[in-house]
Amino acid sequence: MNLSKSEEELMNYIWTLDKAFMKDLMEIYPEPKPATTTIATLLKRMTEKGFIAYKTYGNSREYYTLVKKKDYFSKHVNGLIKHFFNDSATQFASFFTKETNLTKEQLEDLKAIIDSEINKK
């Protein structure tokens, strides 16, 4: 199951904070801040989808993630590779390195990461 763009934005804030009450989430949003009811609706949907859960303290809820950020984005990248690049990481890497305006330094950093992974295997 996937998150909508708004849910994903909120999820990023929860990942950043690790645990968060509604007031914490409202504080982290930039201006113009969404309505509290909007955030409450998003939190409810994300709870129903199994991405977050909460602990109740009186009338307050402390939200925390059930899905790790790395796992969520890994699933999306793998889906992207499968659906748009014929399940070929090589085609994806070729596209990524040619079509995103990476600097020479960034490409060298990527090469070092790849070389490190090759050495591990």
**What would the pLDDT profile of 26-66 be if each residue is shown by its tens digit?**
999 999 999 999 999 999 999 999 999 999 999 999 999 99
Instruction: Report the pLDDT averaged over residues 2-26.
Output: 95
Task: Return the pLDDT at 64.
Answer: 97
Beta bridge partners of 55: 62
Q: Which residue has the tokens 């994806």?
A: 92
Helix (H) or strand (E) run with residue 63 in it? strand 60-65
> Quick one: pLDDT at residue 41?
97
Instruction: Note the pLDDT of residue 100.
Output: 87
Query: The sheet that has 19-21: what strands, in order across it?
Result: 19-21, 60-65, 52-57
Quote the tokens at residue 97. Answer: 């390195």
**Token digits of residue 53:** 């859960």
Total Cβ atoms within 10 A of residue 91: 13
What's the pLDDT at 101? 86
What is the per-residue pLDDT for 59? 93
- Name the residue among 36, 58, 48, 59 with its Cα closest to residue 4: 48
Q: Which tens digit of pLDDT belongs to each residue from 68-113? A: 999 999 888 888 899 989 999 889 888 888 888 889 999 999 889 9
Max Cα distance, the chain (Å): 54
Provide mean pLDDT across the span 3-25: 95
Name the residue among 37, 55, 38 with its Cα closest to residue 4: 38
Q: What is the pLDDT of residue 9?
A: 96
Whole-number pLDDT of residue 16: 95
Which pTM value belongs to this model?
A: 0.75
Tell me the C-alpha distance between 31 and 23, whole Å. Answer: 15
pLDDT score recorded for residue 93:
87
**For residues 43 and 63, is the Cβ–Cβ distance under 8 A?**
yes
Q: What is the CATH number of domain 5-65?
A: 1.10.10.10
